Structure 1
């Protein structure tokens, strides 16, 4: 029997031989929780940055050493590995971590009893009630993990429910659906399914009561009505229309990211994408739409909002499939995730992307689904995922101009995501750092204007300003540093950009450099030279570029930078580069 037990689901605690271990510092528990979740050695500098994100490097390392001293005073010391570079937990039969049970269900097919045991462990979620108010990066990581673990559990419950339905075990299926509703009461898919199963199993009164309870909850929490399909199911049950009850569908939500926690100023963009899909025009264009824009402008956030949108679920009742590719995608692994979501038999035995793509296309031939392919860097990477039939639509995001044109059927199918308006950008900054905007209104407006409405830049700036303001320091110098760019480029990116695989918290500069690292040396040098242009905004013509680069014909290099999303044509032979990219270019001199 394990002697050391980590309980991270629900209120976090650690026990040794059945007794609670009292840790003197909350960050000691935070450190151990992170090691337990990742399950591998973590770089010391990374951990210092994660837990003391607002400290300088020297102070953060010193604080980490003090926390390790606290842990060494407890029985956990025997299970902790520490060297000059890394920190890790020594896994053995004597160590038990509840979160590992939940992590294991991502790949395993569980029986009903095993899943129920995990649900009992889950309780109120990941590290419920725990936070580090002076470590925003850790709190953001914790929130992201909580959402991810919840999504994993809900998807596994959904798989088990449909296995139970296949075996006609309706009572068991209803029980697990109620578990799902307890975790996420506003999950319309689960609510609709449990109402349907009550009706199928002869519990008509329970079905009607479930619907009425759900309606009251939606009205109280959101002020809205259930999905149209759920309403139709209710009417079918009331009128005893057996055929409509039996044919009610479930929505497949394959591999969706969590709903973005903070989104401001994107209402028009959401409606624009819906309009391009035809949804707001009371018709649906089953087409391909490509969202293209600057790095950090919020393409992934916008597509996440679309994926979770209620109207989208109504128009595409067979579900939403999501994948995020990046510059080095594992195409087969991503395709297998979709195959599992669609219950494709023997999918794990496939070794060919082409074979899987063909088989998935056959499944979707007559379905109405929305397919979302996020962060495509090459048209060839995205093409196998365009598996929708004539009643499906595909939404693709990319920073690359040539990828957008390579994947869109028509030029008008490309939507250039705009920067935030000044009002929306100021609203976002006010949400993140309310005291700053209140005390420094003029400087705040100047800051968001200098950052040219880029959500990534404003979020990072807002976090830095809030942290400095909370210490009672004057923030005038910091605002000036942010406007000049150096402090902003060296700041850590938001938590949803943390690179868990490589144990790094990327800076803003590192995120942006993903767009430049694949350029050849000459093109990279010429991009850096664009830093001589003054932002706010930086616009120039071909002749100005030729002068800066000291060449006669700059068009070949301009084409490359436009294709990479680093330069944008604005008409009349002129081009624009975003202020944050100007800052990056200057840093590369």
Structure 2
């Protein structure tokens, strides 16, 4: 029986048999377990592991650091039949004791039937070891290669499933899969065409045309190119078919109607790219495409604050109801009272959509707060709601099972 579950897509999460989140404190301990998990049931030489994770240490110091990392892992995985098997020379991770999402993902891709593909898609909750930074060049190189490989595998699975869903005329599911594909590769025109086609067939012609404009804007902004001929041809077909309906709609519109001005453009450096993503989310709510969740993660408080302030300004300019809360250490009377006030404010905001909810320092969140955030994340994708959370790298508690759970609005993580 597998006593633990390790999830490496969308971050690092280790869950015990009781469903409790158990996390090693040290980044190198997480990296060690992830490395072993990628090749379970194999003997890994201690000397090699120490060289990979502590490249700047001599052999003695490296092996000492390795023993400390193992000790950190054994504190959260105790017992006679623990997943870690060790001798003085090697370390092995027993797959009979621990379920690993990456292993299950690859197994599902090999099966390649519809059920297996759907399983693989749901397992891929985000980038492999998202946010992991153990400060080792050797590990970073391996991590970069692994991330690229798994993003390609996930994209291929999503594209394959998307093709079959469109052929089956399952347009709602196709829309969800297409948005998942865009969360991996925002420049994937196949996904935009699928969204155009799906929303058209679902009776949302305006949304279908807005997806083309978003595709056109992003390609021009990022690559300086226009959509490919196939995408343009689909747009022309939909535009022609909707001309009469749009004309009638405009004819019925009251005179003096205020039109929404386009959101500000941005340039290519990192802060502005992050801002553009958040601007696009506001635009998506205004265009009735759906809400979205964001997690701003990192130690750069200045950049976090600047992004939050700018998003608040944009949201308020477009009549969003806003509610902001900063979490303090849990289990304090003061913290509970402030949290209750925020919950009341959330309820008021949700009665007056569109709404922007901001929760800072979610690494302080207790179980009840996490449950509330989970429900808000799930609600964001189906309505006019933007949820923005902030945390530091260490201790960020969001369960990766939540990632991708929002239908039409995946949780977007921005590492600062």
Q: Distance in 2 between matches of 1:104 and 1:32?
A: 20
Cα deviation per residue 1:422-443 (whole Å; 9 max; x = unaligned)?
xxxxxxxxxxxxxxxxxxxxxx
Contact 1:102 1:149 in 2 (8 A): no
1:5 aligns with 2:27: no
What is the match of residue 187 of structure 1? 188
What is the match of residue 103 of structure 1? 106
Q: Distance in 1 between matches of 2:55 and 2:208?
A: 50
- Provide the secondary structure at the position in 2 that maps to 1:239: helix
Following superposition, the deviation at residue 115 of structure 1 comes to: 4.2
- Choose which of 67, 70, 89 in structure 2 pairs with 1:68: 70
Q: CA RMSD in A?
A: 2.7
- Provide the secondary structure at the position in 1 that maps to 2:99: strand
* 1:199-238 correspondence to structure 2 within 5 Å: 199=200, 203-238=204-239
Of stretches 174-183 and 144-153 in structure 1, the one that deviates more from structure 2 is 174-183
Following superposition, the deviation at residue 152 of structure 1 comes to: 0.9
Q: Distance in 2 between matches of 1:34 and 1:179?
A: 27
1:81 aligns with 2:85: yes
Which of these two proteins has the greater Rg computed from alpha carbons? 1
Gaps of 5+ in 1: 242-589
Contact 1:81 1:87 in 2 (8 A): yes
Cα deviation per residue 1:144-190 (whole Å; 9 max; x = unaligned)?
21221121111112122222333333333333222212332221222
Q: Distance in 2 between matches of 1:213 and 1:95?
A: 42
- Provide the secondary structure at the position in 2 that maps to 1:87: strand
1:46 aligns with 2:48: yes
Cα deviation per residue 1:220-256 (whole Å; 9 max; x = unaligned)?
4444432233223322332349xxxxxxxxxxxxxxx
How has the CA–CA distance of structure 1 residues 234 and 51 changed in structure 2, closer, same or farther, with 3 Å as cutoff? Answer: same
What is the match of residue 128 of structure 1? 130
Q: Distance in 1 between matches of 2:140 and 2:78?
A: 23
Following superposition, the deviation at residue 27 of structure 1 comes to: 0.7
What is the match of residue 140 of structure 2? 139
Q: Distance in 2 between matches of 1:169 and 1:14?
A: 35
- Provide the secondary structure at the position in 2 that maps to 1:213: helix
Contact 2:166 2:194 in 1 (8 A): no
Gaps of 5+ in 2: 243-416
Q: Distance in 2 between matches of 1:172 and 1:75?
A: 39
Tell me how many residue pairs correspond in the alignment.
238
- Provide the secondary structure at the position in 1 that maps to 2:57: coil
What is the match of residue 94 of structure 2? 90
Following superposition, the deviation at residue 118 of structure 1 comes to: 4.3
Cα deviation per residue 1:167-219 (whole Å; 9 max; x = unaligned)?
33333333322221233222122223332444466653332111012222334
Following superposition, the deviation at residue 124 of structure 1 comes to: 2.9
Task: Give the TM-score taking structure 1 as reference length.
Answer: 0.37
What is the match of residue 32 of structure 1? 33
- Provide the secondary structure at the position in 2 that maps to 1:106: helix
How has the CA–CA distance of structure 1 residues 204 and 46 changed in structure 2, closer, same or farther, with 3 Å as cutoff? Answer: same
Q: Distance in 2 between matches of 1:229 and 1:209?
A: 17
